[in-house]
Each structure stands twice: as C-alpha cells, then as structure tokens.
C-alpha cells in the first residue's frame, strides 16, 4: 500500500464498471444452480423452478453488489478460518 500512499487503517472503495464484469459463468458456477434445481423439482413444477432460480440469481447479484470492502474482508477472513 505504500506505493499508493495509503496508510494503515484507511478504507479503499472499489468501483467496477459494468463493462469490466464478465457475463461468462465460472466453470463450477452451474453446480450450485444444478443442485438448487434438483432440490426444487421435488416440490415445484419445472416452470416455477426456473422462475425461482432466476429470482434467486437476481437477489444474489443485488446482495453481492451491495457489499463494501469491509464486508468482503470479513467474509474472506471467515472463509480462511474454515479451512
């Protein structure tokens, strides 16, 4: 951080433009949706399953976009402590 004259304890706000994000799914990303689809098919019709999954994806995207760096850091530390 010294290269950028940022002192310890300062917050950095990161903004990513829509153009910079990739629309390609990550290799294992479909695993979550496949598991969710399989689970939901037990109780819902196929059309309803797809609507639920699309709404879930939308809500997840909104929630992730609202995370600030402190929250991301807390999640990262929590995940590191789980291993």
Q: Where are the domains of the chain?
A: 2-82
- Write down the pLDDT at residue 48: 95
- Write down the pLDDT at residue 39: 93
Residues 48 and 55: their CA atoms lie apart, in Å, by 11
DSSP state of 24: S
pLDDT averaged over consecutive 10-residue blocks of the chain (83 residues)? 73 67 62 91 94 92 86 87 76
- Write down the pLDDT at residue 62: 87
- Minimal CA–CA distance to 33: which of 58, 55, 62, 53? 53
- Write down the pLDDT at residue 53: 93
């Amino acid at each position: 951080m010294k290269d950028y004259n940022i002192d310890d304890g300062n917050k950095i706000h990161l903004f990513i433009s829509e153009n910079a994000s990739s629309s390609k799914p990550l290799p294992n990303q479909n695993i979550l949706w496949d598991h969710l689809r399989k689970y939901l098919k037990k109780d819902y019709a196929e059309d309803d399953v797809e609507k639920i999954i699309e709404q879930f994806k939308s809500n997840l995207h909104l929630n992730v976009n609202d995370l600030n760096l402190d929250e991301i850091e807390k999640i990262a530390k929590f995940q590191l402590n789980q291993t």
